[in-house]
Amino acid sequence: MNDFELDRIVKRYGQRTTLDKISLATTEKEFIVVVGPSGCGKSTLLKIIAGLEPADAGRVLIDGRDVTRLEPGDRDIAMVFQSYALYPHMTVAENMGFGLRMAGRPKAEIREAVENAASILQISDYLDMRPKQLSGGQRQRVAIGRAITRSPSVFLFDEPLSNLDAALRTRMRIEIGMLYRRLDATMIYVTHDQVEAMTMATRIVLMNQGGIEQIGVPSELYVNPVNRFVAGFLGSPRMNFMTARVADVDDESFGVSLEGLEGVRVARRPEARLVTGDEITLGLRPEDIRTDGGGEHRLAGQVSLVEEPGRESIAYIDAGAVRASESEDGLGHLTVQADRRTPMRRDDSVTLGFDSDALYVFDAAGNTMTPRRPLDTPSAPNKAES
């Protein structure tokens, strides 16, 4: 039995379709992170799951029960809001016990549940304070505590960490991850932050313009993006894209025609329908570009800017005729992520190198044309962390 299921959810606002037949199912209390650019419909989807917005079509099932027409309070869910949504006139304990009190539970039970949740989140000392007296992180804990108190089968998180500073965010991220393992409940977590998605999710749902682009474990989405959108969305710094044409096609591979880069051939999916002269986009992750002179293909370039955020260096390279479209620096320079022990300075001349294997190819519609890769390639998702 599915413990959580969305069945062809549709939502329209006037003429505009905000959600188009969204389906999703989980069987074993997964941590689903719904991620996507702002305006993609992910928050609306969460509200529909919560019951705060009605769906125009489709069903929501929780533990096999159709809850589509139920009030939020009857769905066995709990929600954590971006703004925390704590009641300023109630103490922490009253905030946390609110749901149970509304359900008319006995006081003793409420107190026990509140204390239990408080101890899990280490906020037992604040129970008699008002939200105004707490810091942002503490408020966030209370908001989570309020959800825990209800012990729902599904937790809904609406960008819960976006109001926190970077250090706190990392910490809360880890805590929510630990909480998930401890509570054994389905979690639906909406965020626009790919780091949160990559680190926390058992599965990621990547949304764009009201539809799902790809569902899968984080490394799958990173290593095998189904299309250019997914490839570009996940990974920081972003994948380099270069516009090129198909030079020739054979059974297993095709040749790429790109000014400034000769003789590149890449493997092709069997179902890929490409003919000579088609416009394609090459994708190359910054960490797959080498600066040590190795690699099958070489490119001469000049460093235009170096960033050194710490663990690695990120360099923007002017590679002459080879220009990146939608590049990070907006100048058509290639982004390269290098070991910081490789010294690079502005205006240095460098030789870039990469392997054909590292290249992704997308057709004009954005679909991936290169074959699926095994997940234990060097392009591991943890590299995407910044």
Partner 1 sequence: MHSLLHRHRGWLWPTLFLAPGVILFWVVIVASSAESLRISFFQWDGLGDMSWVGVDNYIALFHDPQFYTSLKNNIIWLVLFMAAPPLGLAIALLVNQQLRGLRLVKTLFFMPLVMSQVAVGVVFTWFYDPANGLLALVFRAMNATAPALLSDPQWVTVAVVIAGLWPQVSFCMILFMAGLNNLDDSQIEAARVDGARGFRMLYHVVLPQLRQVNFIAIAITVIGALRSFDMVSVMTGGGPFGSSSVLAYQMYEESIQSYRFGYGAAIAAVLFVIMALFIAWYLYRMLRIERGTA
Partner 2 sequence: MYPRQIGAGEPVKKALYLTAVTVVLLLWLLPLLAVLMTSIRPGSDIMMGNYWGWPSSFELVENYLGVFTQTPMGHYFFNSLVITIPSVLGVLCLSTLTGYVLSRYRFRGNILLFAVFVGGNFLPFQIMMIPVRNLTLALGIYNTYLALIVFHVAFQTGFATLFMRNFIAALPDELFEAARAEGASPLQTLIHVVVPLVRPALAALAILLFTFIWNDYFWAVVLSPSDSVKPVTAGLANLMGQYAASWDLVSAATIVISLPPVALFFFMQRHFVRGLTMGAVKG
Partner 3 sequence: MAEVCHSITRRRLVQALGSGLLLSGLGVPALAASKELTIISDLDTPQYLVFRELAETFGQQSGISVTVNNLAHEANKTAIGNYLVADPPDICFWFSGQRMRQFVKLGLFSDISTLVERENYASVLGPLLDAVTVDGRQYGLPLGGLFWGLYYRADIFAQHGLTPPETFDDFYRTCNSAKAAGLIPVSMGTREQWPAAGWFDHLDLRINGLDRHMALMRGEMAYTDTALDAVFEQWAQMIHDDLFLHNGTSYGWQQAASFLGQGKAAMMDLGNFITTALSPEAVEQLRLIRFPMYDSAIGPFEDFATNSVHIPKRAQHPELAREFLAYFYQPEVLSRFVGALSGVPPRSDMSVGDDPLARTATQLLRNTQGTSQYFDRDTPPQMAEAGLKGFQQFTVYPDREAAIRQQLERVRQRAYAS
Which residues sit at the interface with partner 3, rule CB under 8 A?
Answer: 90-91, 93-94, 97, 101, 107, 110-111, 127-128
Comparing CB distances to partner 3, the nearer of 128 and 292 is 128
109 binds partner 2, rule: CB under 8 A: no
Query: Which tokens sit at 203?
Result: 């599965």
State which residue, 53 or 115, has the beta carbon closest to partner 1: 53
Distance CA 80, CA 160 (A): 6
User: How far apart, in whole angstroms, are the C-alpha atoms of residue 170 and residue 237?
Assistant: 19
Nearer to partner 3, 110 or 264 (CB): 110
CB of 53 to partner 1, least distance (A): 7
- The entry of partner 1, partner 2, partner 3, none near residue 79 (CB within 5 to 8 angstroms by kind) is partner 2
Contact flag: residue 277 with partner 1 (CB under 8 A) = no
Using the 8-state DSSP alphabet, how is residue 146 labeled? H
- What is the rounded distance in angstroms from the CA atom of residue 305 to the CA atom of residue 292? 18
- Pick what 69 binds: partner 2, partner 1, partner 3, none; C-beta below 5 to 8 Å, kind-dependent: partner 1
Omega of the bond prior to 237 within 30 degrees of 0, cis?
yes
Q: How far is the CB of 93 from partner 3 (least distance, A)?
A: 5
For residue 223, which of 118, 357, 105 has the smallest C-alpha distance?
Answer: 357
- Which residue's CB is nearer to partner 3, number 100 or number 317? 100
By the rule CB under 8 A, 366 interacts with partner 2: no
Residue 73 DSSP one-character state:
G
Helix (H, G, I), strand (E, B) or coil at 322: strand
Residue 221, SS3?
helix
Q: Answer with the entry of partner 1, partner 2, partner 3, none that 86 interacts with (C-beta below 5 to 8 A by kind).
A: partner 2
Among 54, 136, 260, 263, binds partner 1 (CB under 8 A): 54
Q: Which amino acid is at 46?
A: L
| Among 22, 67, 79, 234, interactor with partner 2 by CB under 8 A | 79
Render 78-90 in DSSP notation, one character per residue.
EEE-TT----TTS
Nearest to 143 by CA among 179, 186, 195: 179
Cα separation, 379 vs 358, whole angstroms: 9
141 lies in the site for partner 2, by CB under 8 A: no
State the Cα–Cα distance between residues 308 and 106, nearest whole angstrom: 57
Q: Does 107 bind partner 2 (CB under 8 A)?
A: no
* Residue 69 found at the interface with partner 1 (CB under 8 A): yes
Cα–Cα distance measured from residue 279 to residue 296, given in angstroms and rounded to the nearest whole number:
23
Taking the complex as a whole, how short is the minimal distance between the CB of residue 102 and partner 3, in angstroms?
11
Binding stretches for partner 2 (CB under 8 A): 47, 50-52, 71-74, 77-79, 81-90, 98-99, 102-103, 131-132, 139, 146, 150, 156
Binding stretches for partner 1 (CB under 8 A): 52-54, 69, 71
